Amino acid sequence: MKKIFITGALGQIGSELTVKLRNIYGADNVIATDIRKNDSEAALSGPFEVVDVTDTKTMIEMAKKYQADTIIHMAALLSATAEKNPVFAWNLNMGGLMNALEAARELNCKFFTPSSIGAFGPTTPKDNTPQDTIQRPTTMYGVNKVAGELLADYYNYKFGVDTRGLRFPGLISYVTPPGGGTTDYAVEIYYEAIKNKRYTSYIDKGTYMDMMYMPDALNAIVDLMEADPSKLKHRNSFNVTAMSFDPEEIAAEIRKHIPEFEMSYSVDPARQQIADSWPNSIDATAAKEEWGFKAEYDLAKMTKDMLEKLSK
């Protein structure tokens, strides 16, 4: 990766990934793009362009202008927002992906885009969900993710584009808050624990979902993109996870640091339904075997770090 072009660079993953990649590959070699600019480090620490991913012409022109050899396509709506506006979600998530893949094909770029545990559905095995299994999601987001995995595979075998992807679980970070996801409770809970020593969860107790701390997610993207292509059997997309917990378990972990922390519930039926359709825990063996995936943070280590960083 020498010239990396990122879409959705100011989003939850993009804003941290852009800064990390600039530290590794050089600030001028990482071109951040998003639908609008802000004054974050990702926007200001290197080249930035306003790019609407549904605008094919601009997207290809911009990638050409910077002679990109890698496209990292992050721009997308998350699960809960997509469910509220499925037509817009289809147009943005699939239209944007198609344009990004076309740009990669035309410029002969390496390509990354994230999939999600949302690519699974109620008929998928719930525990230790295998890499290759039933994928019949019941959300628009999930439909987009499965179609995206297939499309990225297609661009690999049809056009030889070096496409790669990860099925991310809920990602937890103290830098950029997520927006519109189902797993967002596991981020909000830390902010509220510090500010108010209480949190009302919209996800019910007993609902297990996979999660990962952002530093592990960023390392996984770099490691996968640098992996020897001859070792990759799956490409789009690898299961990756670091932990699985329910709201009670994360609350108990927070109480080890803030003993007075209180948890209550006001379940949001829409997001609960999405969470219920996703696995309890997924199996990351293929990622470990094919390119050496490992996560450093478990719930205890992540909680300590989140609370320390957010308190500052």
Q: Which residues bind ligand AKB (CB under 6 A)?
A: 78-79, 116-118, 168-170, 181-183
Q: 25 an active-site residue?
A: no
Pick the catalytic residue: 25, 66, 141, 185? 141
Q: Return left, alpha or beta for 260; rule: phi > 0 is left, psi -120 to 50 is alpha, else beta.
A: alpha
User: Residue with the closest Cβ to ligand AKB?
Assistant: 181
Q: How far apart are CA 220 and CA 278, in angstroms?
A: 22
Beta carbon nearer to ligand AKB, 101 or 117: 117
Tokens 């039933």 belong to which residue? 134
φ, ψ for residue 162, nearest 5 deg:
-80, 80
CB 79, min distance to ligand AKB, A: 3
**Could you tell me whether strands 30-34 and 4-7 are parallel, antiparallel, or unpaired per DSSP bridges?**
parallel
| Residue 2 identity (one-letter amino acid) | K
- Closest to ligand AKB by CB, 46 vs 118, is 118
Nearest to 13 by CA among 139, 151, 181: 181
**For residue 296, how many other CB atoms are within 10 A of its CB?**
11
Nearer to ligand AKB, 1 or 117 (CB): 117
Compute the distance between CA of residue 185 and CA of residue 42 in angstroms, rounded to an integer: 25
Nearer to ligand AKB, 78 or 251 (CB): 78
What's the min distance (Å) between Cβ of 83 and ligand AKB?
Answer: 9
| Nearest distance from C-beta of residue 115 to ligand AKB, angstroms | 8
CB of 189 to ligand AKB, least distance (A): 14
- Residue whose pair of structure tokens reads 């996968």 in the numeric block: 224
The catalytic residues are 141
